[in-house]
Each structure stands twice: as structure tokens, then as C-alpha cells.
Amino acid sequence: MTVNVHQGVLKKAIGIGLTAVMGISLLAGCSSNSDNNKANGGAAAEGESAKRVKLKVEVFDRGNSPAPYTITNNYLTKLVQERFGDPNNIDVEFVPIQRSEEITKLNVLMASNTDVPDIVFTYDSSVFYRYAQQGGLTDVGELLNEHGPNLKKFIGEDTLTFGQLEGQQYAIPGKRAITGRYSSYIRQDWLDKLGLPMPTTTDELYTTLKAFKEKDPGNLGSKNIPMGMALAPAQYETLIYSFMKPISGDLTYSQRYELPLHEGFKDALQFLNKLYNEGMVSKDFSLDEDKTQLAKDIQNGNVGYWSEDVDVLFYADGTLDNLYKNVEGSKVLPVDILTNANVDNKHIKSRYASNGMYLMIPKSSKRAVEAIKYLDWMASDNNLINLQNGVEGENYDMEDGIPVVKADVPQEFADRLFNAGDTAIISNGKNIGDQATNEKAWVMGFPERNQEMLKQSIAIANTDTVGPLVFGKPIEAEAQYGNTLNDKLGVIIVKTAMVKPEQFEATYEQEMKDFMSLGGDKLQQELEQALKELPAQ
């Protein structure tokens, strides 16, 4: 049922020449302001409705454009122009910003007023709030009602709240397709060899890990790692959340460096200290911030239990495939074992917020109407499917209403979509329908041999989750102290894990004292005040 308008034209190779690059420059002047457009509305004066206008849209430049494409002249920019721009008498111009310099460059453009694109975006909530507070953004509430019905329906009211400040809609949050984050795994063959039942609680897990340590079912000797660990969120957050008490209902503070401000944080670290001192976790986890060593240990068969991002194991020729190749008879099962005594022994874990990036229209833009129309077009009909998946029959096939990537897609066709994620800006991940449909589509993109385990992992990742509090205003201390406190969080985890058990209490107290002196106290005060000001649910 996918509609591919002008498909024949879009299949043609795009010649790249100087005349085809749209003349983009960050220093190029805006279109003339003498066309009597209403401020911020983008509505042409009477008699000028047919005048062709320009809409400038930010795009991330990751330096990965395959020949013959460029970031501003490629299959998707041509699709946008032909299917949205031309029918609406709009020239769509994409303004590249290097991903690594996103915020720095965006600050410069926002300050210029004249050079800034009509649609800009950021993943950083503090940047969004700052622009909104400074009066630099268009309130798009009424524009959404008038020109964005499909967009508004697609995003949903709950997600739209992430783009509000004091009740005004200053950003349109992208919609996240998948909110599940973490799952855990155990070597079933190790359990079988020792005749052990599957553990179902934290206490039972400890007993199992102790058996893995003492009885060494993998015959690994000094390489034996009962519980794999890295200094990465997928490992330490999973453990911490299983002890942590939410702030309100199923909600917690939103930033990772705010974990120390939750009840139960200390208990989690004390449990990790016990495991470390008894030789049950990866000895050098503090050096493994990118999880490289953990992945090696898992695929070499050295790890009995671990936690990970929900999808990481299951890619073709990835960690799971390599483990099964390297260790004959190995068997892994997704498990949900850690239980939280502070929350009725549920398997508490964090979930992603429902929003992606913050899409914003600068106050100086004269094309706010066109900007909303563009985003609404993206949310209409099959446009998002086409932007994210390419051409039916060449890039993908439709199966039960889900676009499934074809096996062995020719490189020429695959290259069409090199910037699909950065073009389909209303969506973080592939949004096909509701979350269950999105998850089904996601699973179908993995090797068939791993799909059932991924389904199980997703189900675990969606069980007993807690999400981030939305205050509807900036927390100033986050912007001021966030980077420092995030670094300090890693220090706290490492130091408290590695000290002798009798030194844990003193070490924890000293590290938390340092955390508070680095801005944690001011952050806590501001968060608690913001919590008091939240309307009753």
C-alpha cells in the first residue's frame, strides 16, 4: 500500500555539480523580508499566494555521504523537494551542521537571527529551554492546531509536553519508536552443568553467582567472570535501579548524574562492593567505559550473567553469534532477575522518555507556517515510511503492513538511505504504528536466528519500568553542574566498588560529600523545589 509518487524520477542517478548544490552557506543571506509576510506566520500577503518561497531546514552532517551524493543533494533531499516542496511552491534548502559541533554552531546561528534555518533541532533539553527563555523560539501551539493535525496526532499529547515551557509549545519533540532500554542474560548451559534452577530474585542471583565462582562451570580458571560489568549505563544503571526508589509513582529524576539523589543508591553500591570483593564481577570494569572488554569476555564464553542494551547482542556476527561460534554447547537466555525491595520486589528498570530531539522554529523565521506544513507532510500518508525505508521492492518489502529490509540490497539502493535518520526528524527510530508494531518491525530487521531472543529481551525491557519526570521548565543546576556531576558519578561507582567492605561506609560518605560540594546540593534543592511545584496528578 505504499505510495511512491514520482518514483521513476527519484530512481535516476543524481548528477552532482556546483550548480546543483543549492548554493548553501551558513553565511548566505535569508530570502528578502520585503514580501510583507506576517511576523512568524509565513502567510503571504493577499495576492502573493503563488509566490515561491524558501524553507531552510537544519540537517546533521556526519561526513558519511556516499558518492555521488552530498548531504545537501541526495536521494532524500530530492524526494522532499518533489513530493513536498514543488506541490507547495516551496524550495526546501538543507543547511548542514556537523554533528560534532552541533550546539556550538547552532548557538552562532541562533544569535545571528538572519542566517538561522527555519527548522533547527537539538537533543539537549537545556539548550531548548535556554532558547525558549531568551525569547528566541516561536510558540507553535496555534500553528500546530491550524497546520499540523497529522503531526500533532503522530507525536501525541504526552510527548508534546516535553516541548513546553510554562504551558507554551516552543518545540515539537520527535517521537521515540522504542522506549525499552535494558535486559539481562544468563548462561543456561552453566546452570545446567551445575544442576541449578533459574534464579528469580536478587538474593537467588547472588547464590548463583557464588556457585559460578566456586564451581567454575566453564572450566575457565582465572578467566571466570560470574557477572560481567563495565563502567557503562547498561551495566551500572540496571543494578542501581533494582535498589532505587522512584521519586513519584513510576517516575525518577531524568538525568543519570541524579541517581545519587535517590533513596536506595547507597544500597546498590554496597551490593556491587560485595560482589567485587568476592571476585564475582569483571575485575577491571572501571577501565571499560565503552564495553569493548565486556563484549570480548562474553563472546569468548567467560561470563555467566550480565546486563546490556536490549538489542546489542543480536546483530549479525555480533556478540551472541560469536559466542555460539566460539563455545560449543553454550546457551544464553534473557532473564529478569533483579528485584527491588523498595518497590514491592518488582523488576524495576529505566525506560527511555517518549521524546526524541527538540524541533524548534526560531522567532526570527518568516516561514513558520511552511515549517509546520513540512513536518505535517512528513507525518502524513506513507511519507515517513518512504523517508526511512526507501523504495518498496528495491529497499524493502511490505509484510503485514511492516516494511522489511530486503536481503542483499545492492549498495546503490542502500546508499539512498545513508541519512534517513537525520532526514526523518519527527521520528527517533522507525515509527510504523504503536509501540508493539514498532517493536515487531525492529525485530524483523535482525537475523532470523536471533529474533525470538530479541522479542524476549524487549518484553523484559518493558517490564516494571520507570520513566523521567517532566517539570516543564529548565533545572538551572543541570546546565551548570551536569558535566561535572556526571564525571563524579563514575568516580563514586568505581571507588565504592573497589574498597574493602570495612572501608565502604567512609568512602561512600566522603564521595557523596564531594558530590554535593560540586553542585549536587544545589541540584537537589532545585529538584525538590520543582517537585513541590508540579501540579497534582
Tens digits of pLDDT across the chain (537 residues): 333 333 333 333 333 332 333 333 322 333 333 333 333 444 443 334 569 999 999 999 999 999 999 999 999 999 999 999 999 999 999 999 999 899 999 999 999 878 899 999 999 998 999 999 999 999 999 999 999 999 999 999 999 999 999 999 999 999 999 999 999 999 999 999 999 999 999 999 999 999 999 999 999 999 999 999 999 999 999 999 999 999 999 999 999 999 999 999 999 999 999 999 999 999 999 999 999 999 999 999 999 999 999 999 999 999 999 999 999 999 999 999 999 999 999 999 999 999 999 999 999 999 999 999 999 999 999 999 999 999 999 999 999 999 999 988 999 999 999 999 999 999 999 999 999 999 999 999 899 999 999 999 999 999 999 999 989 889 999 989 999 999 999 999 999 999 999 999 999 999 999 999 999 999 999 999 999 998 765
Count of beta carbons in the 10 Å neighbourhood of residue 435? 17
Residue 307 β-bridge partners: 184
221 and 172 part of one domain: no
Residue 138 lies in a domain: yes
Residue that finishes a domain, picked among 399, 421, 443: 421
Return the SS3 of 186: strand
Residue 404 lies in a domain: yes
Q: Residue 241 sits in which domain range? A: 182-350
CB 187 within 8 A of CB 176: no
CA pair distance 470, 461, nearest whole angstrom: 21
Which cell numbers hold the place of 24? 548553501
Residue 267 lies in a domain: yes
Give the CA distances from residue 339 to residues 49, 231, 456, in Å, rounded to whole numbers and listed in that order: 62, 21, 18
Residue 245 lies in a domain: yes
- CATH number of 174's domain: 3.40.190.10
| pLDDT value, residue 113 | 78
Residue that finishes a domain, picked among 315, 350, 385: 350
Return the SS3 of 364: coil
Which cell numbers hold the place of 383? 511519507
Residue 310, burial from CB neighbour count under 10 angstroms (0-12, 13-18, 19+):
buried
246 and 323 part of one domain: yes
Q: Please name the amino acid found at residue 27.
A: L
pTM of the entire structure?
0.85
| pLDDT value, residue 50 | 67
41 and 165 part of one domain: yes
CA pair distance 23, 25, nearest whole angstrom: 7
Residue 31 lies in a domain: yes
| pLDDT value, residue 17 | 34
326 and 264 part of one domain: yes
Residue 201, burial from CB neighbour count under 10 angstroms (0-12, 13-18, 19+):
middle
Phi and psi dihedrals of 166, rounded to 5?
A: 50, 40
CA pair distance 123, 367, nearest whole angstrom: 23
- Rg of the chain (C-alpha set): 26
CB 265 within 8 A of CB 240: yes
CA pair distance 450, 321, nearest whole angstrom: 9
135 and 42 part of one domain: yes
86 and 48 part of one domain: yes
154 and 228 part of one domain: no
Q: How many domains does the chain have?
A: 2
pLDDT in tens, 354-405: 999 999 999 999 999 999 999 999 999 999 999 999 999 999 999 999 999 9
Residue 169 lies in a domain: yes
Residue 246 lies in a domain: yes
Give the strand order in the sheet containing 182-187.
225-227, 303-309, 182-187, 332-335
| pLDDT value, residue 112 | 87
Written in H, E and C, the secondary structure of 413-445 is HHHHHCCHHHHCCCEECCCCCCHHHHHHHHHCC
- Write the Ramachandran bin of 279: left for phi over 0, alpha for psi from -120 to 50, otherwise beta: left
| pLDDT value, residue 534 | 87
Residue that finishes a domain, picked among 305, 326, 350: 350
Alpha helices (runs of H) in 89-245, residue ranges in sequence order = 102-112, 125-133, 141-147, 149-155, 157-160, 188-194, 202-215, 233-241
30 and 170 part of one domain: yes
Number of C-alpha atoms within 13 angstroms, CB side, residue 246?
19
Residue 375 lies in a domain: yes
